[in-house]
A and B are shown apart, each in its own frame.
Chain A
Amino acid sequence: MSITYLEAIREAQAHALRDDPRVFIYGQDVGAFGGAFKATKNLQKEFPGRVLDAPISEDAMIGLAVGTAIEGMRPIIEMQFADFSTVAFNQIVNQASTLFWRTNVPCPITVRLPFGGTSGSGPFHSQCLEAIYAHYPGLVVLTPATVEDAYSMLLAAVAIDDPVIFCEHKFLYYHLKAEKLPSEALPIGKARIAREGRDLTIVTYSAMVHEALAAADELATEGWQVEVVDLRSIKPLDTDTVVASVARTGRLLCVGEAWPWGGVTAEVIARVSAESYGLLDAPPQRLNAKDTPVPYHPNLWAAHRPTARSVAAAARILIRF
């Protein structure tokens, strides 16, 4: 049997619905239609009354979720695209994130954001918004890069008492396959060493983990051993694992598909520079998407985002510094 990243997300939701009667799913067309990407396929049939279609108002969806959370429910909200979550921005960053801090009432909602670029998706269906949500205290922001993490981290997200922004990468939905679902997982907030090396540390997350691993393969043929750290969770950020890796390699390249300005890559570099300046044998570098809206044309899109090739080129410069 093999299972895709998308199927793992469906299985995790089924598992959560089965395990906990407080869990319900709310989103546009998640019911009979099974969701824009079929992440909730057949769940309405399996769990009648607990998989509910929402109006085309993201603002109202999160407002409802916060209200039910106050009443003790644990909703999973599906945004059709991460880009549209900005319509619900007020509810997420002003209401959900502050609720516990204002009232001592927890807000255990999970907001699923299908995010990131795929060929031809263009400016409104490709955005990576993890950094703006990570900016707000009170939110947990998760970015699974593997089928196993997509499953186990979504289960963890539902169990967490804080509002969780669950960033699932659309590029990985169908491409990424695993043999079976995991029975155990690293805790939330712990990064994973995706590949060991001694010459350079690449810190990345989500789909870029796979570009970094491909770049590491290419560099290995040139004699360089590149370590790849998969952050898994953007917030909390596992600085210890990153610093320990830089201690081994002395060189840091951060790769993110999001825009560079005020991004996760900048945050990682700031932390490493401030906390472990003496470990750096070269200036830490970052590689992000270009600072423009995401282009439609497949060729432009490929040039816009970091790829294995551009990651390897940036890594070579850093290794030879």
Chain B
Amino acid sequence: MPQISIIMPQLGESIAEAAIINFLVKPGDHVEGGQDLIEVETNKATMTVTAPCGGRIESFCAVLNESYAVGDVLGKIEATKEEAARFGLDLPTPAKSCDTDTEVISKKSRNATGSRVEPTVRGLPVPANASGASYMSPRLKARMHELGLSAADLAGIAGSGAAGRVTVEDFEKFMAHLDKQKLTRASSMRVAVADAMRRSWTRPLATVGLPVQLDPVLAHRKTCEPKPGPALYALRALAVALAENSAVAGRLVGNNIVHPSAIDVGFAVEAEDGVLVPVLRGADKKPLKELVVRYNELVELARQRKLPADATGGSVATVTNFGTFGLIWATPIPLPEQTLVLGLGAGRKMPHWDEAKGQFVPVMEAYLTLSFDHRVLDGGAAGRLLLRISDLMRQPEKL
């Protein structure tokens, strides 16, 4: 009588393996086609493996509490020829694929391929398949290159290969699945931002924040014509602070810190479906009232997406005014070629304890954030820079 394999089924789209938690029948039992045989547990839910056809359970080669990949043989059912044919399973059967020898081989190969990761540190379980797209085969890379995809695009794929790597088969399945969903073309600007962010994210980034009183700035801007925005005060303060110590805006390349050659500071302007970063050249050398004209001009050009070539790139740091979106706090990501990005949150009326008056008084307050490449500077240096900027903003007339 033919022996039909009980196979670990595809239990879900992103599931590569499941652990045996309970056998519902014993070898020798008679079962119907479709009857529940084995309870298995995936990282999402408990499910059952059903009988491929009716017959007598010949043996189970799966072991309780062990994990098995989708497609692995878990046991055998002895079925009549007619029954096997009825379920379309009347193919030649393996001579002996459930005997001890094969079990040893499959065990060995499982270990060799390392599909299960055993924790090496007590109390710190290492989740299996956590490495995801960490290893990409040459073929996978070539295929991604062909389709214009990058490693970050693979994050959503659960790999079925050794150590959870994404095989080309996993990848093609994922791509075929995407075809069934609504796809819109990302604008070239979106793609450019994505690329810059991905490159930037290869570094260890950290963010520190500090509240700053905006009242002096707001009072000062009323005396100016044209009126500079609070972000420009922050930009000028950053430029002045960097002129005092430019090393913190340096870039780490190998064993060297590359110091900025000029304090050119960029600022983020939201344009359709992306962000542009026009640059104020020599922002440490020109007073605020000179900068404001050029600043307004660049904002307008950026919104029209007509920035001249000399007004973009080559800046040492960027200022982003996320307060314009009503946000109080954010952790912006510095551009890949920069170490620092200064953020300014929305201004809010906050109670401030006035020692002289012995009471709370309302002040306008906003958060300054500084995100930085932790390889170049530490929290202390970032904090000192931020304090210096907030000091400078308290005396706007000196900017």
Contact = CB atoms under 8 A, between A and B. Distances in A.
Interface of A: 217-218, 220-223, 250, 277-282, 313, 316-317, 320-321
Contact of A221 (B97, B115, B140, B161): B97
A221 B97 CA distance: 9
A224 to B, nearest CB: 9
Contacts of B93: 221
A282 B294 CA distance: 56
A135 B115 CA distance: 40
B338 interface: no
Contacts of A220: 92
Nearest to A310: B105
Interface of B: 5, 7, 69, 71, 73, 91-95, 97, 105-106, 108-110, 112-113, 115, 137-142, 161-162, 165, 167-168
A321 B94 contact: no
A222 B73 CA distance: 8
B166 to A, nearest CB: 10
Given A279-B142, A280-B137, 11 more contacts: A218-B94, A222-B5, A222-B94, A250-B137, A277-B138, A278-B141, A281-B138, A281-B139, A317-B113, A321-B113, A321-B167
Contact of A278 (B7, B97, B105, B138): B138
Contact of B109 (A221, A279, A280, A313): A313
A271 to B, nearest CB: 15
B92 A281 contact: no
Contact of B71 (A218, A223, A277, A279): A223
A320 B97 contact: no
A57 B20 CA distance: 67
Contact of B112 (A221, A281, A317): A317
B58 to A, nearest CB: 15
5 contacts: A221-B5, A280-B139, A281-B139, A281-B167, A316-B105
Nearest to B146: A278
A278 B139 contact: yes
B98 to A, nearest CB: 11
A281 B140 contact: yes
Contacts of B165: 321
A320 B140 contact: no
B139 A279 contact: yes
A282 B166 CA distance: 11
B142 A278 contact: yes
Contacts of A223: 7, 71
A277 B138 CA distance: 6
B140 A222 contact: no
Given A221-B91, A222-B94, A320 B115 contact: yes
Contacts of B115: 320
A277 B165 CA distance: 18
B168 A250 contact: yes
Nearest to A314: B109
A320 B93 CA distance: 21
Contacts of A313: 105, 108-109
A55 B109 CA distance: 53
Contacts of A250: 137, 139, 168
B106 A279 contact: no
Contacts of B105: 313, 316
Contact of A280 (B112, B138, B161): B138
A320 B162 contact: yes
Contacts of A279: 138-139, 142
Contact of A320 (B5, B95, B109): B109
Contacts of B5: 221-222
Given A218-B94, A321-B161, A321-B162, A281 B168 contact: yes
Contacts of B69: 320
Given A222-B97, A281-B168, A316 B138 contact: no
A280 B141 CA distance: 10
A317 B92 contact: no
Nearest to A246: B139
B94 A221 contact: yes
B171 to A, nearest CB: 9
Nearest to B112: A317
A282 B137 contact: yes
A221 B113 contact: no
A202 to B, nearest CB: 16
Pairs of residues from A and B, 5 with the lowest C-beta to C-beta distance, nearest first:
A278-B142, A221-B94, A281-B139, A281-B137, A281-B168
Contacts of B71: 222-223
Nearest to B136: A281
A217 B97 CA distance: 12
A34 B95 CA distance: 41
Nearest to B162: A321
A317 B105 CA distance: 10
B70 to A, nearest CB: 11
A214 B141 CA distance: 33
Nearest to B139: A281
| Among B73, B108, B140, B168: residue with most chain A CB under 10 A | B168
Contacts of B92: 217, 220-221
A222 B109 CA distance: 14
B16 to A, nearest CB: 11
Nearest to B7: A223
